[in-house]
């Protein structure tokens, strides 16, 4: 068996080992494990009551089904998920540097990408579960309604968005490997996206002089495409502009992030600072 095919055969076992490790650790912090789920209920309740202030049929909400509660729940649930893709990898690198486990992981025959993705897998899957729970709680207890769901639209927007935010995560992880702290990529995108990406209010409400910034953020297209596909019964053609924009982001970000990561690992090994923090 070739080295590459053996690596691929072992990959599921290695990734499941990371999952088991993190699940076992999470179980030892029982209060934190439970309280994170209670937070979802409180967040849904908050937006339910805020939504009562926003009259149904507000024009700027028209393209997204017209209901503010559904608009906000989808925005918050998916932006949290995207934030996890974006911040999971750098958090893993930083955590392993600080806790002292990074060298022990990197002397094993597992590749660095396997170590990184494996280490963030539990957080990502947990966040996916939380997102589904968020939507489920909103549907079951607060009267949220979906339109006619556009499955291909949700899938296309979802996959392209995940790849795009993973790329930003890889860029941030590269920065942390070399400079140890405070990646500007995640911070700028995270902070600016929260305000200008249409997470809790439509981009159309922004003054025109700053609205152009929204068009530079992947989250704008991700949430626009997801809301139209989930809430507004939009057809595939209607979300095609969002899909095209996300594809362009991926064409630029994915190869750039992989190249940056390769260079960062080499520089950290050259400087002898792989496990420094």
13/208 with CB nearer another protein:
13
Residue 176 CA: distances (Å) to CA of 240, 266, 267: 35, 13, 12
> Which SS3 state, helix, strand or coil, does residue 74 take?
helix
262 binds another protein (CB under 8 A): no
Contacts of 120 by beta carbon, 8 Å cutoff, 6+ apart: 88, 89, 91, 92, 169
Stretch touching another protein by CB under 8 A, among 63-71, 108-116, 122-130, 198-206: 108-116
Q: Is 62 in the site for another protein (CB under 8 A)?
A: no
Residue 30 CB neighbour total at 10 angstroms: 9
Contact between 104 and another protein (CB under 8 A)?
Answer: yes
CB 262 to another protein: min, Å = 13
Contact with another protein (CB under 8 A) among 50, 103, 179, 181 = 103
Q: Name residues contacting another protein, limited to 21-60 (CB under 8 A).
A: 21, 24-25, 28-29
Q: Which of residues 113-142 bind another protein (CB under 8 A)?
A: 115
Cβ pair 108, 13 in contact under 8 A: no
Q: Is 269 in the site for another protein (CB under 8 A)?
A: yes
Whether 32 contacts 123, CB under 8 Å: no
Query: Taking every pair of C-alpha atoms in the chain, what is the biggest distance, in angstroms?
Result: 64
Out of 16, 145, 181, 191, name the contact with another protein by CB under 8 A.
Answer: 16
8 makes contact with another protein (CB under 8 A): no
């Amino acid at each position: 068996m070739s080295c590459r095919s053996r690596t691929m055969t072992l990959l599921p076992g290695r990734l499941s080992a990371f999952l088991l490790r993190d699940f076992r650790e999470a179980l030892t912090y029982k209060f934190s494990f439970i309280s994170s789920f209670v937070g979802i209920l409180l967040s849904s309740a908050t937006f339910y009551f805020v939504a009562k202030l926003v009259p149904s049929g507000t024009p700027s909400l028209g393209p997204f089904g017209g209901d503010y509660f559904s608009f906000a729940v989808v925005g918050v649930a998916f932006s949290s998920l995207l934030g996890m893709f974006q911040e999971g990898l750098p958090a893993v690198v930083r955590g392993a540097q600080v806790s002292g486990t990074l060298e022990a992981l990197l002397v094993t025959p597992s590749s660095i990408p396997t170590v990184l993705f494996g280490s963030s897998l539990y957080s990502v899957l947990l966040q996916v579960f939380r997102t589904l729970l968020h939507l489920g709680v909103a549907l079951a207890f607060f009267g949220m309604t979906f339109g006619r769901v556009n499955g291909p639209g949700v899938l296309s927007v979802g996959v392209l968005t995940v790849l795009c935010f993973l790329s930003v995560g890889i860029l941030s992880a590269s920065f942390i490997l070399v400079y140890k702290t405070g990646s500007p990529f995640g911070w700028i995108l995270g902070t600016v996206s929260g305000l200008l990406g249409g997470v809790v209010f439509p981009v159309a409400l922004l003054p025109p002089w700053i609205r152009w910034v929204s068009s530079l953020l992947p989250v704008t297209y991700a949430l626009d495409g997801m809301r139209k596909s989930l809430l507004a019964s939009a057809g595939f053609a209607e979300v095609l502009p969002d899909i095209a924009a996300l594809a362009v982001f991926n064409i630029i970000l994915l190869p750039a992030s992989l190249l940056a990561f390769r260079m960062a690992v080499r520089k950290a090994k050259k400087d002898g600072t792989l496990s420094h923090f």
